[in-house]
Structure 1
Amino acid sequence: MPANPYDPFARGPAPTGVTTAHLVDASRERPLSIELWYPAAAGHRGQDIDERTADRYVAAPGLPPATQHAVRDAAAARGRFPLVVYCHGAWGHRRNASHLCTHLAAHGYVVAAPDFAGDTAEDLQNAVADAGDAELDFGAGLPKTLYDRRADVRFLLDSLLKGAGPAQVAALVDPERIGICGISLGGWTALKVIEEEDRIGAVLAVAVPTGSRGRLPQSPLLGSLLSPAAWRRPVPVLLLAGAQDAVIAVDDLHDLYGHLAAPKRFAALRGAGHSHFNDGAETAHDAAREMWLSGQMKIAGMDVVALAEASRPFAELCPAEHGGDTLRALCTSHMDGHLKGDADARRFLTDDLTGSFRARGIALDVRE
């Protein structure tokens, strides 16, 4: 039998466009900034991966400019494409995983990522400045944050499916094929939304805060709020963990996995910490570790020095590209298999997933 030619590690054939939409949920008087990636017209081929023409942005005031592999406001390709919603983690931003979102767009997806106002990188900067030498209490505003995240995703779906936002992007969305993914609190958001949202057909959740073995004080509460038994229908789930995550214990994710109904799959990347799946993983990991060690950030209920020591320097963990390759390949194949019905993608996930990653020097442990 010939080898499966399917390759979710490789960038897809479509050039990637990107635009930003600004919507307002009038019912909550809440603005929502959304990054939208999409397959662009063939005339943009190569421009998205050329540093001279790729999009540049600043995630928060004072941070250095970053580049994403997409062309700002590019002409869109023709056709209808599945939609994937990306949810950023706590104190993150909508472009936290642009490496994933641009990759999905190149494989024929529209990807929509909201900034969860009140829980962004800029909000963290303001909170740290306001706290001074005092501890940050992340638990104080958590109930509102959790409500806003779920309501934002539902509003985003309602708006896009009604044609809101840039017309050329809204016209691309196939309302019958919708997936969701997220990292850390974004992964929790993705799983929680499934309880109340019947339009979503596949979910990938990464480093979900849950259980009592990790170092995040809110994890037990967050885990208790997830109710997979309340899902009204089976939704294919892929859980991804970093085996050396010092924030979220991989054993807690194993427990969460046990409560999920099939179809499901679990993967843990050996040597990966909590930051390995985002853009700029090494810089983010070591910057956070230095901040914790130096006492620049104090968090209520958390021994940040012990957290920093458990995190270890990034050089002692697996390379950043292993995290990126793993997330892109797993998310693409999971969405291809369940939203596009791609038989080759499903075989990639089921035949010898560990071996496929081992061939690339990546150590991935897999459970079904």
Structure 2
Amino acid sequence: MGVRRLVAVAVTALLAGCAPAAAVTGAPAPARRAPEGSYAVGVRTFTLDPGSARPLPVTVWYPARDGAVAAGRFPVVVYSHGLDSLPELHAGLTTRWAAAGFVVAAPAFPHTRRGAAHFTRADVRQQPADGWRLVRHLVRLDARRSDPLAGHLDVARFAAAGHSAGGFTTAGMFTSGHSPRLRAGVVIAGGGLAGSFAGPAAPLLFVHGTADPVVPLSVGRAAYGRAPEPKAFLSVLGQGHGEYLTPGRPGFAQVLATTTDFLRWALYGDRDAGGRLPADADVPTLTRFESRLAP
């Protein structure tokens, strides 16, 4: 998956550094009823700004029932892929989040996605702005009565998540002055970009394989160290760059449970989910969880 390219991104990010984080604390969104059980999952695609210099194909997974969007409003997770990847390659994780009661919107970035006509790793620095462009579009879409998702997006409760270069992209969305709509982040096998981890405090979860040969564990730990509380770090012991994101592979069940309950806690205010977090990763030979979340 472009090992040399992604190492270069990680090194560049470390050299650029992150803005100092203010010593502030945050809390999950005020409680609203979290879904019980699971949903069927629907999928749709669209292209944001198709005639622009940066058209953005987007895949959306959403909770469904009886062939339509399920009743209710659902928090939204913007999910960013890594270098030479695509949203659908992460469906093992994103569809399960949708089944748990989240709308997941995943852009395919113009110059880092698989098959890009002009691939360049340097474009990762432009991707946080793409993420915010998608957030603004979804806010407008929720008010568009003709759209099937209208009225179903909880546009006050967004999270950003991503793997590898998408993890850097996610961190880059948490900059000074960012909208308080962005209430949580999940950085998987990534690190920080310049200016990351500033602005309104939001819970952050870092996930990293301790034997990652692409983005070394030290990069994730450095980002975690710079991030303000509330925050948590899930180490997947002996694992590499992302095999634990594949259903059935060692660590997948723990990563899925931890990320899902983190999102439930942060976006629904589900205190029971927050209380489950230590047990989610309780496999001493496979995972290690450290938390400054105080759920």
Mapped pair 1:327 → 2:255: yes
Mapped pair 1:76 → 2:69: yes
Q: For residues 137-167 of structure 1, give each alpha carbon's deviation from its aligned partner in whole angstroms, at most 9, with x where no partner exists.
A: x8xx4443421x1221111111111017981
Q: 1:160 aligns with which of 138, 141, 148?
A: 138
Query: Which blocks of at least 5 consecutive residues in structure 1 are unaligned?
Result: 1-10, 44-73, 128-137, 210-222, 281-319
Q: 1:244 aligns with which of 202, 211, 216?
A: 211
Equivalent pair of 1:97/1:277 in contact (CA under 8 Å): no
Match of 1:194, as an amino acid? F
Q: Higher relative contact order at CA 8 Å, sep ≥6: structure 1 or structure 2?
A: 2
Q: Which residue of 2 aligns with 1:6?
A: none
Equivalent pair of 1:89/1:186 in contact (CA under 8 Å): yes
Equivalent pair of 2:257/2:280 in contact (CA under 8 Å): no
Equivalent pair of 1:150/1:189 in contact (CA under 8 Å): yes
Give the TM-score normalised by the residue count of structure 2: 0.78
**Aligned 1:40-119 pairs, distance under 5 A:** 40-41=64-65, 43=66, 74-119=67-112
User: What is the alpha-carbon distance in structure 2 between the residues aligned to residue 170 and residue 95 of structure 1?
Assistant: 23
Mapped pair 1:23 → 2:48: yes
Q: 1:35 aligns with which of 38, 59, 63?
A: 59
1:171, CA displacement in angstroms? 2.8
Equivalent pair of 2:44/2:59 in contact (CA under 8 Å): yes
Q: Which residue of 2 aligns with 1:8?
A: none
Equivalent pair of 2:203/2:266 in contact (CA under 8 Å): yes
**Aligned 1:168-187 pairs, distance under 5 A:** 168-187=148-167
1:251, CA displacement in angstroms? 2.5
Equivalent pair of 1:268/1:366 in contact (CA under 8 Å): yes
Q: 1:145 to 1:249 in 2, by over 3 A?
A: closer
Q: Which residue of 2 aligns with 1:201?
A: 183
User: What is the alpha-carbon distance in structure 2 between the residues aligned to residue 189 and residue 224 of structure 1?
Assistant: 8
Q: For residues 17-41 of structure 1, give each alpha carbon's deviation from its aligned partner in whole angstroms, at most 9, with x where no partner exists.
A: 1111122166x43221111111111
| SS state at 2:89 partner | coil
Q: 1:94 to 1:353 in 2, by over 3 A?
A: closer
Q: 1:144 aligns with which of 107, 123, 127?
A: 123
Q: 1:347 aligns with which of 254, 275, 279?
A: 275
Aligned residue-pair number: 252
User: What is the alpha-carbon distance in structure 1 between the residues aligned to residue 178 and residue 234 of structure 2?
Assistant: 25
Root-mean-square deviation (CA), in Å? 2.4
Give the TM-score normalised by the residue count of structure 1: 0.63
Q: 1:105 to 1:179 in 2, by over 3 A?
A: same
| SS state at 1:178 partner | strand
| SS state at 2:234 partner | strand
Equivalent pair of 1:82/1:174 in contact (CA under 8 Å): yes
User: What is the alpha-carbon distance in structure 1 between the residues aligned to residue 91 and residue 265 of structure 2?
Assistant: 22
| SS state at 2:77 partner | strand
User: What is the alpha-carbon distance in structure 2 between the residues aligned to residue 365 and residue 146 of structure 1?
Assistant: 30
Q: For residues 277-330 of structure 1, give each alpha carbon's deviation from its aligned partner in whole angstroms, at most 9, with x where no partner exists.
A: 4448xxxxxxxxxxxxxxxxxxxxxxxxxxxxxxxxxxxxxxx52242233212
Identity of aligned residues (%): 29
Q: For residues 53-100 of structure 1, give each alpha carbon's deviation from its aligned partner in whole angstroms, at most 9, with x where no partner exists.
A: xxxxxxxxxxxxxxxxxxxxx411111111111100111111221011
| SS state at 2:98 partner | helix
Equivalent pair of 2:189/2:208 in contact (CA under 8 Å): yes
User: What is the alpha-carbon distance in structure 2 between the residues aligned to residue 102 and residue 353 of structure 1?
Assistant: 19
User: What is the alpha-carbon distance in structure 2 between the residues aligned to residue 114 and residue 224 of structure 1?
Assistant: 19
Q: For residues 193-217 of structure 1, give each alpha carbon's deviation from its aligned partner in whole angstroms, at most 9, with x where no partner exists.
A: 11153221010101115xxxxxxxx
Q: 1:24 to 1:107 in 2, by over 3 A?
A: same
Q: Which residue of 2 aligns with 1:364?
A: 287
User: What is the alpha-carbon distance in structure 1 between the residues aligned to residue 234 and residue 42 of structure 2?
Assistant: 30
Q: 1:154 to 1:185 in 2, by over 3 A?
A: same
User: What is the alpha-carbon distance in structure 2 between the residues aligned to residue 178 and residue 354 of structure 1?
Assistant: 24
User: What is the alpha-carbon distance in structure 1 between the residues aligned to residue 281 and residue 123 of structure 2?
Assistant: 40
Greater shift in the superposed pair: 323-332 or 87-96: 323-332
User: What is the alpha-carbon distance in structure 2 between the residues aligned to residue 122 and residue 12 of structure 1?
Assistant: 38
Equivalent pair of 2:262/2:273 in contact (CA under 8 Å): yes
| SS state at 2:148 partner | helix
